[in-house]
Amino acid sequence: MIHRRDILIAPAALAFAAAARAQLGNAPVRILVGAPAGGSTDTLARSIAVSMGPALGRTVIVENKPGAGGNIAADAVAKAAPDGNTLLMSFTSHAINATLYPSLPFDPVKDFTALAKARPGQLNFAIGAVGSSLHMAGEAFKMQSGVDIVNIPYKGTAPAVQDLLAGQVQLMFAAVGNIKAHIQAGKLRALGVTTAKRLPAFPDVPAIAEALPGYESSAWFGLFGPARLPADVSRKLSDAARHALQQPDMLKRLDTEGAIPVGNSPEQFTAFVQSEIPRWAKVVKFSGAKPE
C-alpha cells in the first residue's frame, strides 16, 4: 500500500488568547522532533528550518527528543514559554496518541497552537511501529473491510520493508518515499493508495476507496507551538513556514515523496487536529494497540 503525506503547517494550533504584541527577539528558534535523526519528521523539520531562518532573520535549529511515541518532545513544547522560540514538528501520531496513551501529560489540542477475504488469517501485515499512522491506516482498512490479516510488528520501517522484499510478509502500508524505488524496480507491487483519489505519481494504481468506498488515510505533518502564543508571533512563524514550503527544493522533495504542501492557517489547523482525535480514536480502539 502507498501512503501519501499531507503537509499542514501552522504553528500554535489552538485558539489564541488576545495578548500584547511581542517580538521574537534574537534567540534561536528550536524545532523539537520526537523521533531520531534521519526519519521523515526529522528531515522535513530540517528542510523547513533552512528556509524559515532567513524569512525570520533568525537561526532555526532542530533538536531530536525521541521516545514515548513523540510524547517527550510534545510535552517539552507544551510546557515551554509561549514566546515563539520553541516549536514542535509532529505528525498524525499527535492525534493518535490522544487515545493510544491512557494518560498524557499534555492535551494534544489545548496545550498547542495541532486478496485478503479469500485467505482470512493467512496473510501477514508488516507494521513498522505499533500505534504509528501507517499501522492505523492498516487497522482502518481491516475495520472497514472486515478482512482478517495478522499483524507482524517490527522495530522500524527499514526491517519491515526488508522482510517484505524477502517475502517473509505479504503486505505493508508504507510511505511513498520508503518504497517508491522498489516499486519502480519491480521488486514490490503497489496494490492501492490510501488517498481518496489516485496519486499523480502512480496513476495506474487504484485508490483503495475505489473498492472500499469511504476509505481514506493520509498522514500529515504540522508545526506546533505552546499555548498562549501571541497572535502576532504565531502569524510571523506561520508565514515563514508557508514561505519555506514554497521553495523549489522543498517542493521537489515533497513531490518525490508523494506529499502535498497545504500551509493552512493556525485556525484551520486547530479545527483539523480537533477532528482527527475522535476519528483515530475509533481505529485505535478497534486495533487494541497499546503503547510499547
Domains of the chain listed by start with CATH number: 2-114+219-287 (3.40.190.150), 124-210 (3.40.190.10)
Q: Which residue has the cell 482502518?
A: 140
Q: What is the structure's pLDDT at 51?
A: 86
pTM of the model: 0.67
Nearest to 270 by CA among 32, 66, 117, 108: 108
Q: What is the structure's pLDDT at 14?
A: 34
Average pLDDT per block of 10 residues along the chain, 292 residues long: 46 30 66 85 87 87 88 90 89 76 70 57 76 82 83 84 87 82 87 83 84 82 87 87 87 77 83 84 79 65
Q: What is the structure's pLDDT at 147?
A: 79
d(CA 23, CA 100): 37
Q: Is the CB of residue 160 less than 8 Å from the CB of residue 130?
A: no
d(CA 247, CA 123): 43
Four-CA torsion 16, 19, 20, 26, nearest 10 degrees: -50
Q: What is the structure's pLDDT at 291?
A: 67
Dmax (CA) for the chain in angstroms is 63
